[in-house]
Amino acid sequence: MAQVILDRERNFKLTEETMTRINDKYSSVEAAIEELKQVNLHAFITVVWALLAEDDPELTFEDTARLLYAKTEIMKQVDEAIVVAFTEQIVP
């Protein structure tokens, strides 16, 4: 689990449900990662939303976009948290 500070401290959790959310949008996690490598902002927001939604099920894609746009200076922190989340084991 990785933590970021957006509107408050939030946790990035990689779970089976996280993977399902990403697969629903991009057909596979690998496809989403390829989009991230292309600096696709929609993919970035989607992955952040999928990771945050475990900790905050009410959070929407649009809410996530607003959180990220409100604090553009934290993008590096968020990017690093994504890497940490995806290098850890899936949380049951």
Predicted pLDDT at 13: 83
Domain annotation covers residue 24: yes
Structural domain tally of the chain?
1
Predicted pLDDT at 91: 66
Helix/strand/coil (H, E, C) string of 48-90?
Answer: HHHHHCCCCCCCCHHHHHHHHHHCHHHHHHHHHHHHHHHHCCC
The per-residue pLDDT for range 28-83, each reduced to its tens digit, is 888 988 888 888 888 889 999 999 998 899 999 999 998 887 666 777 777 788 78
Q: Which of 30, 75, 87, 72 is nearest to 48 (CA)?
A: 75
Structural domain range at position 83 = 2-87
Q: Which amino acid is at 26?
A: Y
Stated pTM of the model: 0.75
* Position 7 confidence tier, pLDDT thresholds 50, 70, 90: confident
Domain annotation covers residue 92: no
